Amino acid sequence: MIPAKFDYIKASSLNEALQLLDRHGMDAQILAGGQSLLPAMKLRLNRPGVLVDIGGIPGLNEIKEEGDSLIIGANCIHAAITGSELVAKHVGLLAEAAASIGDIQVRNLGTLGGSLAHADPSADYPAVVLACDAVITVAGKKESRDIAAADFFQGIFMTALAEDEIITSIRFPKTKKGTYQKFYQAASRFAVAGVAVVWSGDGIKVGITGVADTPYRATAVEEAYDGTGNAATKAVDGVEVMSDHFADAEYRSHLARHMVRKALES
């Protein structure tokens, strides 16, 4: 449980962090809250030569309104999201998801951007950003760009984030009605099946995490929705469901349908 040797550099600005990534290349890795990275390093599943700490960079932990959107800095910790009046008012299901993460220690250190960049297939935030049609803003050495949530997650622990890019903020459209429901692992509180649902005048949007190796939009549920929970039977249509020591594919499929029904009927 001791990590391999590494160098530690605390970046004082976003520009400095990007320069450090450029200088050290694939040997460098970003440290935000460290709640996913550090355990992996202790097990030597991840062995960066240089850790670039972005935790103290000004402006990356702000929560602010901008027209019909709420902008949340990548360094916002889960506890800040849970306790934010703006989040509760405008993206309530995000506050629900943040409150369900880990324990109080994890919620006071882990960050929104770090969780999204890590892309654990059982993490909570991916379902929410998918259901909300959120946009993830990332900075690179040459330019910044926006990545739609639907394009961000590309496989187990894989994202559209380039090696020399850093997530800076996430833009959430303001939502009047939404919920996040999950069945979680008792020890870690990671989702065995997590479901985010957003209601709008045009119907619903459903994001699911913990069920497949990549979080996904449950478009079959969205298309079948009739105002009841019946569309939950479509929760895993067209999806290759994961099987592991927490739940086999059959049980996970059952949980996905159950949690979608619960969300739709809540």
CB 167 within 8 A of CB 74: yes
Domain with CATH 3.30.465.10 in the chain: 63-173
Residue spans in the chain of domains classed CATH 3.30.43.10: 7-53
Question: Which candidate, 247, 249, 264, 149, places its Cα nearest to that of 195?
Answer: 264
Per this entry, what is the length of the chain? 266
In the sheet that 166-173 helps form, which strands lie side by side, from edge to edge? 63-66, 69-73, 166-173, 135-139, 144-148
CATH class of 63-173: alpha beta
Contact present, 106 and 35 (Cβ < 8 Å)? yes
| Whole-number Cα distances in Å, 42 to 39, 113, 116, 213 | 5, 21, 21, 23
Delimiting residues of CATH 3.30.390.50 domain(s) in the chain: 177-265
Q: Class of 7-53 per CATH?
A: alpha beta
DSSP 132: T
CB 198 within 8 A of CB 177: yes
158: left (phi over 0), alpha (psi -120 to 50) or beta: beta
Task: Look at residue 235 in the predicted model and tell me its pLDDT.
Answer: 98
Question: Are the beta carbons of 178 and 197 closer than 8 angstroms?
Answer: yes
Q: What average pLDDT score do residues 44-51 get? A: 92
pTM (2 d.p.): 0.95
118: nearest Cα among 46, 62, 51, 58: 46
Residue 79 has pLDDT above 80, yes or no: yes
266 pLDDT band, cuts 50/70/90, is: confident
The residue-averaged pLDDT of 230-255 equals 96
The CATH number of 177-265 is 3.30.390.50
Q: In degrees to the nearest 10, what's the CA dihedral of 208, 211, 118, 56?
A: 50
Quote the Cα angle for 18-153-66, to 5°.
65
Q: How many other CB atoms sit within 10 Å of the CB of residue 244?
A: 11
Q: How far apart are CA 83 and CA 69, in angstroms?
A: 18
pLDDT digits (tens, 9 = 90+) for 1-13: 788 899 999 999 9
Picking from 245, 183, 243, 177, the residue whose alpha carbon sits closest to that of residue 208 is 183
Looking at residue 2, its pLDDT comes to 87
* pLDDT above 70 as % of the chain: 100
pLDDT tens for 92-148 read: 999 999 999 999 999 999 999 999 999 999 999 999 999 999 999 999 988 999 999
pLDDT at position 250, please? Answer: 97
Confidence grade of residue 161 (pLDDT, cut at 50, 70, 90): very high
